[in-house]
Structure formats: C-alpha cells, structure tokens
A and B are shown apart, each in its own frame.
Chain A
Amino acid sequence: MCAASQPKNGAFLMIQRFQAHKFRCFDTLQLDGLRRFNFIVGESGSGKSALLESLFLLSGASPELHFRIRRWRGFGEGNVELLQTSESFSGLFRYLFHNGDTTSIARLSLVDSEWGKRSLDIYFQDKQTLDISLSKPELTAQYIPITFKWDTNAGITNITLEIKDGAIRGSGSVPTHPLHFISSRNLSSRYDALLFSTLSRALRSEELINAVRQIFPSVGDLSLEIVGGETLINAQFTGIKEKIPANELSGGLNKFISIALAIAANPRGIVLVDEIENGFFYRNYFDVIAGLIKLCGLYNVQLFASTHSAEFLEAAGRALEGRPDDFLLLRTKYEQNKCTITKIEGAWSLAAIEQSAEVRG
C-alpha cells in the first residue's frame, strides 16, 4: 500500500525497465521490456517477493516502507527495540544488501513511460560514526547511520536514518510513484475502507461493485458501515437480511475487493500483488483474473503479480489469449547465492501455458 501521486499529463504509465544491483538476493539484475501484465513465477526463496518489494520501496516516499515490508515478512511486528550495540541498528537493514554486505551500495532503478528514471541508493555512511545516546554514558555504543538516496525527476533527496531520543529518525520525503502493493500478508480492512470511501465519494464505486458481482454473483451491494467502532466494507448478500463485513464472510471476496480497490483507486498506476491466487477457489481463477484484467484496462493499470499456481497462470493465459504483447512471464531462480530472473515473452509463455508445459521452472 502506498499513497500515490498521479502522472502529470494523464498518459498511460508503465514501468518499462527495472534494475537492481547488490540489493537483497539480487547481485545484478536488469529487466527490460516489461509489459502490461507481468506474472512472476519460481520456487520459494527465489526472489519473487523480493522483486515486488524492490519496486515498492523504490516507488515510495521514505525509508518507512522498509519497516512495513519487514512487518509483512514477520519481523518486528511490535516496536523496534534498539540495544546498545551497533549491530542492533545495522541489523535492521543488513538484508537490504546482497549477501548482507553492508559495505556495498544497494541500488534500485526503474524507467517508466511518464517520468523517466527513478533510482534509490541505500548505503551506510561509512565515514560517519555516531553515538547511541543512552542514560549511562559508560554504556555508549557507536553506530553508522544509513542513507536512502532517491533520484527522481523532482531531484535528489537524501534521507539519513539516525538514532535520536531512543528512536530511529530521518527527515524528508520523496514524490511517490503511483504504485500499490498487496503483499500476501498485508490485507487491511481499514485501508480498503479508506480506498472504497475515496471511490464512493467520487461516484466511482459502481464499476468496482460490478466487477465483484461478476465473480461473487450473490453480492448485491457494497457499502461502508461502522462495525464495533471500525469502518468496514460490508456486503449485502442475496437471501441474507443484513449486511456482513466482507472480510468476515470470505477470504476470497476480501482479497478480490482489496486488489480491485487498489486498481480502481490507482488509475494510470501500477499494482503489485504477491501470491495473487491465495484465497481464491481454483474454479474461480479465470473469472478472478479476467475481472482484474478488465479493471486494469478500465483504469489503465500495469500489473505485477507473483503466483505459485499453474492453474492460475493457465487462467491468466486464457484471459489474455490473443494479447501476447501484453503478457510477460518472469521466472525467478536462486542459485549460487543470488536470484536471477529469466524473461519469457508472451508469445512463448502463452504457447507453453496453452500446451500444458511447466513454465514455473
């Protein structure tokens, strides 16, 4: 999830190229010719989520996104607690660097069709060592601050994270890239309600509701209701005399609404979905992906989605039949301590999917 600005001139936005250097499991990676619908496949731990998270971090406004990603990955779900060791600080960022090598510069960059190049360098300020202020001076430890340096069409922004008053602090922000990320762990009813409200106020919720009805025909209407003090998207179901919170009733419905909202609330933007098939019944895969592709077309959205499911890929292939130029398969692989990505053009990957070939690696 990420608040996003919109392209200046209203043109269709698409990330065309992505590069990573010494970032996470990527030693050197260059992906050119990205398409409208990019599906990422590969074994667990081969870099599928890392690719999506790279795009998310690069598109964001501040290093705070790094902490969100950590939480989605199950790290530090409470407040970050710093001990009086330099490792306590550097350890929070160590795995942003390839093989944990914090002496290198982790670099991400993309080129899109609208604003051109955007890059992010992450590095420890090796010439600067600061003290961790503690109540007892004799326990003072030293640490090296870390810098996130964004280079966008608005200029260069350095945000250095330091420990101040016992907390990690940094100031500044960067213009965001219009991108939403739905990780496999971050569905948020509150955030979805916020997006739905935005759409509803702009009288744009009907298209979303229609898309939901295509897959869940028993849904009559969606609306925001306060339940237990919390504003939630509620669904009216055929045959049931009261509205029910969408996330209470069906994981699939909730997931579809989340993705559809990310698309509808982010016109001419980019949506990333990790493990897109999760929560959906396999017989609904075609309707789900066809519905999302239709919404992406309606709102001019570029989609990056990872999946483990051959059936889901097959459904995507059928939904994009005859549109090989809109489809790209990215196959990740982990070997010799690094993640690599093989790009397979739509003409070939769709042919392979159609012929029941194993395209996931």
Chain B
Amino acid sequence: MDEYKEEFNQPYHIIVEGPADRELIKRILRDRQIDGFQVGCGQGQDRRCLGKDGFSRRIAAIRGATTVQVQGYVIVADRDDNSADRFSNAARQFAKSSLPKPKENMKVDEGIDGVTELPVKTAIIMIPDNHDEGGLETLLLSCCNGMQENIDCVDDFCTCVQKEYRTKLHADKIRLRAIIAATHRSDPSLALSSWVTGDHCPFEMKHTALDFIADFLKLFGTNE
C-alpha cells in the first residue's frame, strides 16, 4: 500500500523551516479559523525538514503537485543572529523559483509566476517580530506567561555549568527546552512540534504575541 502522500489543494502556501514552525502555524490557522492555507517545509530524501535551505524545494514540490492554482506563497523564517541575511536568503529562494522577490519583511509583493505565467503574491514573515534576533523559540517564550523566574533559573544553570549562549536564538532554544522539560508532566523530552500542538501550560496559543502572524495571514489570504 502506498505511504501517505501530502496533497496540495490550497491556493496559499506557507513555507517554514522545521516541524515545530509547521505545527505552530497550523495551530494558529486552525484556532483563528484562517482558511485557504497549507503549511510545510522543504524535505530531504529522509523526509526531514531542510530548514532555511529548503524553501525553494518546497516551492518546486508545490508546483509539481498542486491541483489548484496557487495564488500566494509566504515564507516564515527565523531571524537567527543576522536578520538581514536570513531575509535575503528567503527572498533569493523566491527569485530562484521565478517568483516575485519581496523587498521588506511582512510586505506583500505581487507579480507573475515565471513558470505558470499567472498572477501570484509572495511575502516573508521574519520571526520573532519584537526582537532583532532569535527565532521560533524566542516567539514561543513570549507566549509563556509568568515564566521569567524560571528563565532566570535556566540562565543561572548555564552560568553554573559554564555553558555560554552563542546567540539569542541559542539561548532561547535552551530556555524553552528547559521549560518544556520542567513543565510537561509525562514527557520531559517532548518534541517542540508536539508541544505546540497541545494545550500545555504555560504556553498560550491565543497570546497576543502571535497576533502579528495571524493578522498578516488573514490579510494575505484575501484578494484585497
């Protein structure tokens, strides 16, 4: 029997770096009832997400499998420690795929798909929106209410074991991992992608820190 195949049947596609981003965006779309979008990452032969290098592969796969006319693509990318460079990388992958190349974060670029020769729009959402550095974990930490004391403990622990944070994203990954381990009752090693699909305290899916993504996607998915 054939293994599960992902069907591409939505007019708008959100392309992310990894499985946790994918699950978070899916959750935002579902909880806030935003329709018409499909979310995924570019995968390697082992079916693992390829991170920031996989955007154009995902676009190629969408082109090869879509059963409807694609009207727009959004890339959601981590700022990491060099926001400008990460934005350029995402924009370059649009251009490499013969799609309009966005010039600014969260600004829609409209143009013609160079392959299908049909109108299409593109955009890039850099996360988080409230820091110059960071990524998904930074954003998720913003959604964890009342956790600052716990984060301080993690920072103290890292100081104690002489573990230096290389970048803000690196620090936030360690902080969030520690918070998941400390707060999830049954599985301290729960994957981040599983964590965001559940209703795990202290994480709040309806947190205003996620509004910028939801608001932008709602607007992007309309024909206005």
Interfacial residues, chain A to chain B (CB-CB below 8 A): 309-311, 329, 344-345, 347-361
Contacts and interface: CB of A to CB of B under 8 A. Distances in A.
B5 A344 contact: no
Given A345-B115, A360-B5, A361-B67, 15 more contacts: A310-B3, A310-B5, A311-B3, A344-B63, A347-B60, A348-B61, A349-B65, A351-B57, A351-B63, A352-B61, A356-B4, A357-B5, A358-B5, A358-B6, A359-B5
Contact of A310 (B2, B42, B62): B2
B50 to A, nearest CB: 10
Interface in B38-52: 42-43, 45, 47
A356 B64 contact: no
Nearest to B43: A355
Contact of A357 (B2, B45, B61, B115): B61
Given A356-B3, A356-B47, A351 B67 contact: no
Nearest to A321: B45
Contact of A309 (B2, B58, B64, B65): B2
Contacts, number: 66
A188 B163 CA distance: 73
Contact of B8 (A349, A350, A353, A358): A358
Contact of B65 (A311, A347, A352): A352
Contact of A359 (B47, B57, B65): B65
A350 B58 CA distance: 12
A42 to B, nearest CB: 11
Nearest to A344: B64
Given A344-B64, A348-B63, A355 B2 contact: no
A355 B41 CA distance: 10
B7 interface: yes
* Top 10 A-B pairs, shortest CB-CB distance: A352-B64, A351-B60, A348-B64, A358-B5, A357-B65, A352-B65, A348-B63, A355-B61, A349-B64, A352-B61
A356 B63 contact: no
Interface of B: 2-8, 42-43, 45, 47, 57-58, 60-65, 67, 115
B60 A352 contact: yes
A348 B8 CA distance: 13
Nearest to A347: B60
B6 A357 contact: yes
Contacts of A354: 43, 45, 61
B42 to A, nearest CB: 7
A334 B61 CA distance: 23
A355 B42 contact: yes
Nearest to B3: A356
B116 to A, nearest CB: 10
A32 to B, nearest CB: 14
A311 B42 contact: no
Contacts of A360: 5
A309 B2 CA distance: 7
A350 B57 CA distance: 11
Contact of B2 (A311, A347, A352, A361): A311
A352 B4 contact: no
A352 B45 contact: no
B199 to A, nearest CB: 29
Given A357-B5, A358-B6, A352 B63 contact: yes
Contacts of B2: 309-311
Contacts of B7: 357-358
Nearest to A312: B2
B34 to A, nearest CB: 22
B6 A348 contact: no
A357 B64 CA distance: 8
A355 B8 contact: no
Given A356-B43, A356-B47, A361-B67, A351 B5 contact: no
Contacts of A351: 57, 60-61, 63-64
